[in-house]
Structure 1
């Protein structure tokens, strides 16, 4: 009886030692973090991991609906969040000063620049982020996953997102969406960036001064906003000012926000395709030129 108990205990201990623990899980591998939406099935999950070229041995961070409620629920209504959790992300940590870049695929609501604005406001810097989904989705799951990832890996990334800045990022996403209904989703991020740049430059100290900066930028761009939209914009940037954000740092982080970063355009497969296309066109035009010699 005692031998049986001893053997069972030893086997259990050996099995336990073989199982991965939270402490030994590798959430950061080769300066890379992967997040996955919890609604992904096994096949979809495999597709996303392949698409993102996830490093071997990495433990993805799963973004759940409860996480989405925590990180976005206060300011982003469920109707804009979509319901299912499919969008996922790859975060490649960069060197200090490299800035933040975002590429997206199959994302319908959160634009690339909206991600950039929200993440920089939240305190994310110096990373190349790729967001994808096997289906067309709003993209809030990926944003949730990114926020959660930085919370869970702060010791590795050196970046600690405060609750205040995460809340400001939520509010900014909500206000940007609202103003975008008037300005257009393709232009609203540029407007927000310009306001931030002017605040960094003019350094307003009161709510009235902040409102004057916003009015100046809006008038320079011949934009007409409702009183409610103006109030939301002024309230948002006034809260940012009270939070004592480093506007210069935010402006620097947004320098590349207007660039057209196309999804996966630098992949070897894509490079190979365009190289073959270029070679084919070169051969074609050379053959035509030969006819006139």
Structure 2
């Protein structure tokens, strides 16, 4: 190999190290992605194809959320029970980025739960990193999708979310959707109320019920929402559940951060080394 060829190769490698965007994995095949399908969607080839086209990712790890999974959560929260023909919502989670969580919801199919509602609930579960996309092949409220999102995180990281944390996050989603339905308020306003209440409760580090009731009333007064005493009590119940599991949620958040940091760094190194190896291979096999 000539000195000029070696010099050119070194310059190319330096260019790669400088210009490859941080966080780029060099893969478009879903190596860092988990897709969770509602079982109704997974068992219908047409529905699954619609979802796969929306997510536009190849070779992602696949998992299925069943009616039994959803009922295990919802039965103790909303007393709703679903059958195997009712679980449509699907979620994609990509943990290849170190950025704060980003949530995209297909509003043409998910009719009730909004990105801000998912974000608030995921925050309660200690989930603050990654890229989340949620859709359904047919119109769906989106409540059951949260169970799928959390299952995707478990599959991605290999770390199980404590059941109490899952229950608190799902309780929050169901509480918010119930208030939206009861009051006619916008879903985003309800999510903002919940977030503000949680922040104030956390800053005061309180579990006292009357104190939390006062916080809820003060926050709600800033919004033009007619809310019942029952709804206020449901918010208080939800926030108390969140407070009760906050230490477990923080532990899970640390596990995600550690996973993202380690996998991200390795992904970048692998991408650069693959490029360098392929470059050496091409140069070595070129004409002399």
The 5 A counterparts of 1:154-193 are 154-155=157-158, 159-180=159-180, 181-182=182-183, 183-193=185-195
Which of structures 1 and 2 has the larger relative contact order (alpha carbons within 8 angstroms, sep 6+)? 2
Q: Deviations over 1:191-243 (max 9, x none)?
A: 11121222233333422222222222122335442221222222222232233
Distance in 1, matches of 2:204 and 2:152, equals 34
Give the TM-score taking structure 1 as reference length: 0.65
Secondary structure of the 1:125 match is: coil
Change (3 A) 1:108 1:212: same
The 3 A distance-change label for structure 1 pair 227 and 136 is same
User: What secondary structure does 2:56 align onto?
Assistant: coil
Structure 2 alignment gaps of length 5 or more:
1-28, 252-288
Within 2, Cα distance between the matches of 1:244 and 1:84? 32
Alignment of 1:206-217 (within 5 A): 206-217=208-219
Report the alpha carbon displacement of residue 142 of structure 1 after superposing the two structures with TM.
2.7
**Deviation digits for residues 28-87 of structure 1 (CA, Å, limit 9, x no counterpart):** 94321111122121122122112211223x341112211211233321343799952222
Q: Deviations over 1:234-276 (max 9, x none)?
A: 2222232233459999xxxxxxxxxxxxxxxxxxxxxxxxxxx
DSSP 3-state at the match of 2:37: strand
- Which runs of structure 2 are paired with 1:21-100 in the superposition (5 Å)? 29-40=30-41, 41-56=44-59, 58-78=60-80, 84-96=86-98, 98-100=99-101
Using the TM superposition, give the Cα deviation of residue 150 of structure 1 relative to its aligned residue in structure 2, in angstroms: 2.7
> What is the match of residue 228 of structure 2?
226
Q: Distance in 2 between matches of 1:80 and 1:193?
A: 28
Correspondence for 1:151: 154
Distance 1:125 1:81, change over 3 A: farther
Tell me if the contact between 2:40 and 2:85 (Cα under 8 Å) persists in the aligned partners: no
Q: How far apart, CA to CA, are the structure 1 residues paired with 2:214 and 2:122? A: 26
Could you say which residue in structure 2 is the equivalent of 1:194? Answer: 196
Q: How many positions carry a matched residue from both structures?
A: 218
TM-score under structure 2 length normalisation: 0.66
- Preserved contact between residue 81 and residue 138 of structure 1 (Cα < 8 Å): no
Give the root-mean-square deviation of aligned CA atoms.
3.0
1:78–1:243 Cα change, 3 Å: closer
Task: Give the conservation status (yes or no) of the 8 Å contact 1:121–1:169.
Answer: yes
> What is the alpha-carbon distance in structure 2 between the residues aligned to residue 247 and residue 210 of structure 1?
20
